[in-house]
Structure 1
Amino acid sequence: MTSNATADYAAINARVRVKYSTLLSRNDFIALSETTDLPSFINLLKTTSYGPYLEMAKDKELNARRAAFLIRQRISDSYHTIINFSPDFVKSFLLEFYRLNEVNNLKAVLRGITTQSSWDKVRFVLFPFGPDGVLPTQAMVESGNVAQAVELLRGTPYFKTLSFAMNRYSAEQNLFPLEVALDLDYWRNLWKGIKKLPNEDQDYATKIVGSLLDMNNLMWAIRYRVYHNLSEEEVINYTLPVGYQIHDKDIRSIAAGADIPQIIKRIYPDLQGVDDILLDLHTGLPKLEMLLERRITEKCRDVFLGNPFQIGIPLGFLVLLDFEIRDLVVLLEAKAGLTPIEKYSEFLTTDLLK
């Protein structure tokens, strides 16, 4: 690491550590989970770093969907601050990492079109991406037609990818091939982007981004086989042959029908309770995903204990913040529906019951 790079990271490191200190603790989540209804949950959440975002709407407007939309703005603000103050040699990678939110917006827009949803209904489901976004989201929704919406993407990074997948969409009238194409293209490019970073940054980015890619690739392969009954060839075609701890041979083994719990235990020997969780693959996969997310959480926290002058610190914080807000969205929906904790706790990255 050069002295200039160290100085550049010193500037962003201080800002990220301040932001890191404002993440909610497990005790904060327990207190939030113990609130009796949505209004009391929102009132307590207002006492945290999410308060300024929730104050952007009147109390009578704060249903679960609107509150979720507002608190997601914290991710957008954090990304823009971190990218602006980061060393020039990592800005493009961090922006590409951020672009996952735009990919998810694009998928949400396409779903809105197929369900004939109005713009007013779709808009609050979307992530507040900010000025770097390239999607004409409102025009796409109001087109009311997937093919026309894709045509509106000419000149964006998404047009070519979706154009190739449109033939199958047209034949099947199912968004599956479009969503798979977007996911694979995004993660393939992000993985390639790691190789453009300085060597030490590559190590940290591989551990964090690679762990996310591994989890997604693994869950795709298992879901395609278990939920969708896809053929071996299709599972291989709809996943990636690269990763951090999960490799092409692992994906091919799953596609070929190998014992899934045994593969999981071989890749993650420290993961507890795999056999019990996966006794029923259909109900066990969400629990497995939460276990993997908790492993990633530990990796993200670990980067704050070592060398402060590396990309792992901003990446780790951004992943932790994303997981935190996803947990808060689950709690918002649970409180709106008066759902008991035992019904939703398994869908939280934060372990409330340990």
Structure 2
Amino acid sequence: MRSVPVSCAKWPSSASARLCARRWNWCSIPRGRSEMSGAVARYAYLNARVSGMADRLLPAAEVEALIEGSTPEQAAHALIPDLADLGQEAQVDPAFLESALLLALLQEFSVLVRGTHGNARDLLIYWIRRFELANLKALLRGKVAGRSAAAIRAELVRLGPFATLPADRLLATEDLAELLRQLETTAYGSIVHQARLAFEEQPELFILDATLDQRYFTGLARQLRGFDGKDRQLLNRLVGSYIDHVNLVWLLRYRYAYNLPPAQAFYLLAPAGHRIAAREWLALADLGSMAELIGALPRTLAQLLEGAETISEVQRRLQRETQSVAESVLRDGGFSVARALAYLLLRELQMQQLLAVLKGRQLGLDSALIRFAAGFGGQGRGGETRV
């Protein structure tokens, strides 16, 4: 009778080989094959849905061609074929189009999340909450500025059935203190609590906004702890790289655009990532210029950003790398929740590119600037001051 391999994933190594072979026919499957079969069972529905939706993504060259070769309406329908008629280009409201595209993305999310449970479901829901976090910050900004409830409501992204914030109750609050107390009773309570404490120490809207972002991405990194094996490996690569990119743009802005001291800039970063550890972020924050900081990055990032002279150029290059990583995970990720996350990220990036095209045309910008704003091409002319 065959003995049980030490690498068995379904039965302790001390178990009787005879008992194991008689009662658990699959327990002699090596751990790698066992994990693979488990992933197939866990993500069969999700994988099929993602594979079907992936056909909706346009090749990068085709997206870039939309800048000159089509109207924004044609571009929108290329991404979302069943999108309602948008009317003439000059009359298209970017806010309306943004809302329509976002709702389409959320509909796809609702289909994908249906095939998940446990940690995978929690991760996807946490990821999609980024959009409602924008509404939370709009509420806070409006309350600080003393704007009317109607004016604040007009700035909120319309999330339809996916909204969880009690907007009417929050808009009816009398002041910022009451709004923060109400927000601490929502799904964003832990994030808001930390932001409120930071705001009480330094009552500036920037601190409130930056702390909300920092706490959100800290929570996103924490979500990955519930995964192991291939799921963890792919998510570390996709989400970890994304957090690295977000942190890097934040650090450049905080240090060289807002002139924050190194310690404060470091404190406002998410304490996790893929290629850069917390102690390395602290050392980077101490550097005196953007060129020094780029030169001190891990080799692959330093090469990617070599020669970049503005923060917007850094952001554009990082976005292209984010897109490349997501495409790789979507293509080669197999049965993993990371493929669903990669798809959602790629759809969002393409929708942002479409909006950049529309806004650029309505402002009368030339094709080179629109291409830069949409994430293609090299450095745009004018605009941001070099740092």
- TM-score, L = length of structure 1: 0.85
Name the residue aligned to 1:247. Answer: 277
Q: Are 2:321 and 1:295 aligned?
A: yes
Name the residue aligned to 1:315. Answer: 341
- Give the Cα–Cα distance (whole angstroms) in 2 for the partners of residues 160 and 275 of structure 1: 38
- How many equivalent pairs are there? 343
Change (3 A) 1:317 1:199: same
Name the residue aligned to 2:129. Answer: 99
Q: More displaced, 170-179 or 340-349?
A: 170-179
- Give the Cα–Cα distance (whole angstroms) in 2 for the partners of residues 31 and 69 of structure 1: 24
Kindly report which structure 2 residues correspond to 1:254-333, keeping only aligned pairs within 5 A, or say none.
Answer: 254-265=284-295, 266-269=297-300, 274-278=305-309, 284-333=310-359
Classify the secondary structure of the residue corresponding to 1:250: helix
Which residue identity is paired with 1:41? P
Structure 2: give runs of 5+ residues left out of the alignment.
Answer: 1-34, 380-387
Q: Are 2:186 and 1:156 aligned?
A: yes
Q: More displaced, 329-338 or 311-320?
A: 329-338
- Give the Cα–Cα distance (whole angstroms) in 2 for the partners of residues 139 and 326 of structure 1: 31
Which residue identity is paired with 2:356? V
- Give the Cα–Cα distance (whole angstroms) in 1 for the partners of residues 147 and 334 of structure 2: 46
Q: Are 2:368 and 1:334 aligned?
A: no
- CA-atom RMSD, angstroms? 2.9
1:268-321 CA-to-partner distances (Å, cap 9, x unmatched) read: 43665734322xxxxx11110110111111111112332411122111111111
Change (3 A) 1:151 1:71: same
- Give the Cα–Cα distance (whole angstroms) in 2 for the partners of residues 94 and 155 of structure 1: 22
- Contact 1:330-1:344 at 8 Å conserved across structures: yes
- Contact 1:13-1:313 at 8 Å conserved across structures: yes
Instruction: State the Cα distance separating 1:147 from its structure 2 match.
Output: 2.2
Instruction: State the Cα distance separating 1:154 from its structure 2 match.
Output: 3.7
Instruction: State the Cα distance separating 1:123 from its structure 2 match.
Output: 4.6
Change (3 A) 1:272 1:14: same
Q: Are 2:39 and 1:8 aligned?
A: no
- Give the Cα–Cα distance (whole angstroms) in 2 for the partners of residues 48 and 267 of structure 1: 38
Name the residue aligned to 1:24. Answer: 58
Instruction: State the Cα distance separating 1:215 from its structure 2 match.
Output: 0.8
- Contact 2:46-2:337 at 8 Å conserved across structures: no
Structure 1: give runs of 5+ residues left out of the alignment.
Answer: 279-283
Instruction: State the Cα distance separating 1:350 from its structure 2 match.
Output: 4.5
Classify the secondary structure of the residue corresponding to 2:272: coil
Name the residue aligned to 2:232. Answer: 202
Name the residue aligned to 2:104. Answer: 74
Change (3 A) 1:124 1:35: farther
Aligned-residue sequence identity (percent) comes to 21
Instruction: State the Cα distance separating 1:45 from its structure 2 match.
Output: 2.7
Q: Are 2:242 and 1:212 aligned?
A: yes
Q: More displaced, 243-252 or 143-152?
A: 143-152
1:147-178 CA-to-partner distances (Å, cap 9, x unmatched) read: 23223224223334434443664676532121
Kindly report which structure 2 residues correspond to 1:101-116, keeping only aligned pairs within 5 A, or say none.
Answer: 101-116=131-146
- Contact 2:77-2:83 at 8 Å conserved across structures: no
- Give the Cα–Cα distance (whole angstroms) in 1 for the partners of residues 164 and 190 of structure 2: 14
- Give the Cα–Cα distance (whole angstroms) in 2 for the partners of residues 79 and 104 of structure 1: 18
Classify the secondary structure of the residue corresponding to 1:152: helix
Change (3 A) 1:8 1:102: same
- Give the Cα–Cα distance (whole angstroms) in 2 for the partners of residues 191 and 171 of structure 1: 26
- Give the Cα–Cα distance (whole angstroms) in 2 for the partners of residues 87 and 189 of structure 1: 19
Name the residue aligned to 1:183. Answer: 213
- Contact 2:198-2:211 at 8 Å conserved across structures: no
Name the residue aligned to 1:281. Answer: none
- Give the Cα–Cα distance (whole angstroms) in 2 for the partners of residues 254 and 4 of structure 1: 41
Instruction: State the Cα distance separating 1:222 from its structure 2 match.
Output: 1.6
- Contact 2:192-2:212 at 8 Å conserved across structures: yes
Which residue identity is paired with 1:257? L
Change (3 A) 1:130 1:204: farther
Instruction: State the Cα distance separating 1:207 from its structure 2 match.
Output: 0.6
Classify the secondary structure of the residue corresponding to 1:195: helix
- Contact 2:66-2:75 at 8 Å conserved across structures: yes
Which residue identity is paired with 2:367? I
Instruction: State the Cα distance separating 1:193 from its structure 2 match.
Output: 1.3
- Give the Cα–Cα distance (whole angstroms) in 2 for the partners of residues 113 and 53 of structure 1: 34
Change (3 A) 1:2 1:128: farther
Q: Which of 233, 246, 252 is matched with 1:222 structurally? A: 252
Instruction: State the Cα distance separating 1:206 from its structure 2 match.
Output: 0.6
1:130-149 CA-to-partner distances (Å, cap 9, x unmatched) read: 54543123443454632232
